[in-house]
Amino acid sequence: MALMCRFQRQWADVEALVCSRSPHTVQTVRDGTSVTEAGEWFRLQSAPFSPSFPWHLRRKKADVIVVHMPNPTAELAYLLARPKGCLVVRYHSDVVRQASAMRLYGPLQMHFIRQARLVIPTSTNYLNTSPVLSAVRDRCQVVPLGILPEEFAHPDPARVNALRTEYGGDFVLFSGRHRYYKGLPYLIEAAAAIRAPIVVAGDGPERAECMEKARAQGLRVHFPGSLSNEDLVAHLHACAVFAFPSVERSEAFGISILEAHACGKPVVATRLGTGVEYANEDGKTGLNVMPRNAAELADAINSLLDDPARRQTMGEYARKRVETQFLAEVVARQEFDLYQKALG
């Protein structure tokens, strides 16, 4: 959202409406974009309860309203406020884990998405496999997500060398939130067979369990915690292979795959029927394996560890692909052109 706001300000007046994570509504400017942070009272299954959100949405008087889904708060607010702008949905993921909530949320979600004049999924893979998107396929246009590759281009060489020394040469990196759908237990299980140390960066609800599992089995797994942007870039350049072992359709695309590619690193990811397989082009930018299969994950990672020339070829192709196909400004323009068509 932040990147799209930044670049689309070149062609239109852009504002953002989000929830504040506090009871207070705040008007602020973030990265040059005017942001309304609507006060919220609490969160239920990650969805904010914000009584003022519909009022803020209605008073914006926007020509185009872009709602990122799934987002029960914004969807309900739209149906209550009935703003007059053209509705565009940026569709990221089906709801996977909260199956019980879908009995209530499912009809609301379908009623909302049918109000959209345009729906933008992030990959053809997800469009072809999502039951929600199948109901509105005639108004779907695929646009991938984008990043800023230049932010990953210039690591600190001393820090890169220090990390290789600290971890013991070539290492395998995972970086991201430690959530149920990330498949980290399978990476920890695979570590026993992987011929290099494993570095699991980031934090989240699964971290403690993963650390205990690695400790109990005496595995070479490091947990450096959350990384600064500068340290993330250094880790990505220092690693030999990036691991992306996700196991659920909640993993709809994989921005961290693109970040690893921007640093010239091949990725071993999983086949989920989502945009992950589009972000990581099997056999070209890395390898894709079956989810929940630690042995296959370890074999794929080892095959790249054992072949530095192949790693370099894949990494160079991946970096060039990111720089041509996943530039945030290009993605922002693609989205904006679709907004204009929908509005027209």
Which pair of structure tokens corresponds to residue 168? 């013991």
Task: Check residue 95 and give its pLDDT.
Answer: 86
Give, as one character, the DSSP assignment of residue 271. Answer: -
Q: Is 140 helix (H, G, I), strand (E, B) or coil?
A: strand
User: pLDDT tens for residues 318-338?
Assistant: 999 999 999 999 999 999 999
**CA nearest neighbour of 173 among 254, 260, 283, 264:** 260
Q: Can you state the angle between helices 72-81 and 102-113, rounded to 10 degrees? A: 50
Tell me the domains of the chain and their CATH numbers. Answer: 2-146+327-343 (3.40.50.2000), 149-325 (3.40.50.2000)
Element (H, E) at 288: strand 286-289
The per-residue pLDDT for range 171-220, each reduced to its tens digit, is 999 999 999 999 999 999 999 999 999 999 999 999 999 999 999 999 98
Q: Which of 232, 233, 270 is nearest to 249 (CA)?
A: 270
pTM of the model: 0.92
Residue pair 56/35 in contact by the 8 Å Cβ criterion? no
99 — pLDDT class (breaks 50, 70, 90): low
Closest CA to 342 of 64, 12, 11, 62: 64
